[in-house]
Structure 1
Amino acid sequence: MSTLKTTRWWLVRHAPVENPKRLVYGQSDMPADLSDQKALEAVARQLPADAAWVTSHLSRTHATARGLQGFMSTDIPPKAENGFAEQHFGDWELQNWNDLPRGETTRFWTDFARQQPPNGESFADVVARVGPVFGRLSADWAGRDIVAVVHGGTVRAMLANALGLSLETALAFHIDTLGLTTLEYIDGVEEPGWRVTGVNQRF
């Protein structure tokens, strides 16, 4: 007889980025603004104490994870996964949108899901990159709570992979900084699978 096993993902988008020049930053390592301690504490209160922790390799996710842990009874060093990074905008990184070649950006926005910036990634590339990491960690930490402090694009990519969503449907989700999205994988039942218990919750 199968034993019911639930794997829960708690997906938190990192804290706001310090970006007064409004640059395209994607995978550039911009610092997080952790000054809103009340917001961090409010999110931390929703998270399970005995969880595995993972971030991308970018400092804004690690700093946010540590900021959240400061309000919790846990001090587990988060596991950094390069595959959970935000979309790479290639030659556009650290440039202002207004300074980019209009022809390139027009072509990009006509099919944001599949078009790549010069030397960068499309959202389809992000979904393909995130999927294997998401699957591996779901297997490694099966039956556990997993807190992932990642990026807006990463959260959408995880939703796409879990639910088999089209690229356009996944991109329709709005993911705020410090927004919480929760997913569960139910195993040990006749039809195991994913379900969403909350998207972009704010506290």
Structure 2
Amino acid sequence: MNAGSRTDWFLIRHAPVQGQEARYYGQLDVAAEPVNPVIAAGLSRLLPPVAVWMSSPLSRTRSTALALKPGADPIAIQDFTEQNFGLWQGRGHNEVYAANKGFDWNNPAKIRPPEGESFADLTARIANAMERLTAHYAGHSIVAVTHAGVIRSAIGFALGLDPGTALRIDIAPLSLTRLTCRIVNGEPVWSLGCVNYEVVV
């Protein structure tokens, strides 16, 4: 990145999903509910007119991106897929807890589901992606429609939070988080503009 360059990230969580209440759905490709046009218009007004658009490969993020910008063809970023809950995907939270009481649920960021990844694993994946993509698109505005875990991890990366702290950040569907990276004395300096901003109708 060039000295003095500024890269702005506009991170949006996808619309609510259908029929997955209190379940680990993670990387399952479940559909999102239709986006209220008033909310879509309100969010769109907060986004830069010229930007690089990205999403995860899952349909719920891509359909949300299209609702915000009809005709958009967001770049599918594999690293921006939600946390992989492995064999827990599709199962209810209470069911998983009852079957795994031996885990240290006081430190959930370190729990790795069978054949999946922990939240700490996710934060490492997102940190690498944010560094790589910020360098590649230095000086641009980036709109990324993605998942709650990804956005928590990106905030944690930008602010230097440990995974356990980042996991406690609540990210609502169709909310906006803005991060900015500036180069100061040759080093990237991150700031948080807003988190969990919602358009109310």
TM-score relative to the length of structure 2: 0.90
Provide the secondary structure at the position in 2 that maps to 1:184.
strand
In the other structure, the counterpart of 2:115 is 119
Report the Cα distance in structure 2 between the residues aligned to 1:81 and 1:190, rounded to whole angstroms. 27
Gaps of 5+ in 2: none
- Whichever residue aligns with residue 51 of structure 1, its letter is A
Q: How far apart are residue 113 of structure 1 and its match?
A: 0.7
- Whichever residue aligns with residue 19 of structure 1, its letter is G
Provide the secondary structure at the position in 1 that maps to 2:191.
strand
Q: How far apart are residue 186 of structure 1 and its match?
A: 1.1
Relative distance call for 1:68 and 1:108 in structure 2 (3 A) is farther
Q: How far apart are residue 189 of structure 1 and its match?
A: 5.0
Q: How far apart are residue 21 of structure 1 and its match?
A: 5.9
- Whichever residue aligns with residue 40 of structure 1, its letter is A
- Whichever residue aligns with residue 56 of structure 2, its letter is S
Comparing 141-150 with 184-193, greater Cα deviation is found at 184-193
Q: Deviations over 1:35-59 (max 9, x none)?
A: 4222122111100110001111111
Identity of aligned residues (%): 38
- Whichever residue aligns with residue 194 of structure 1, its letter is W
Gaps of 5+ in 1: none
Matches within 5 A, 1:79-94: 79-94=75-90
Match of 2:141 among 145, 157, 160: 145
- Whichever residue aligns with residue 67 of structure 2, its letter is G
- Whichever residue aligns with residue 131 of structure 2, its letter is G
Q: Give the superposed CA RMSD.
A: 1.9
Q: How far apart are residue 97 of structure 1 and its match?
A: 2.6
1:46 paired to 2:46: yes
Relative distance call for 1:116 and 1:54 in structure 2 (3 A) is same
In the other structure, the counterpart of 1:171 is 167
Matches within 5 A, 1:95-106: 95-100=91-96, 102-104=98-100
In the other structure, the counterpart of 2:29 is 29
- Whichever residue aligns with residue 39 of structure 1, its letter is I
- The number of aligned residues is 198
Q: How far apart are residue 88 of structure 1 and its match?
A: 1.0
Relative distance call for 1:78 and 1:103 in structure 2 (3 A) is same
Check whether the contact 1:108–1:117 (CA below 8 A) recurs between aligned residues.
no
Check whether the contact 1:56–1:82 (CA below 8 A) recurs between aligned residues.
yes
Check whether the contact 2:15–2:35 (CA below 8 A) recurs between aligned residues.
no
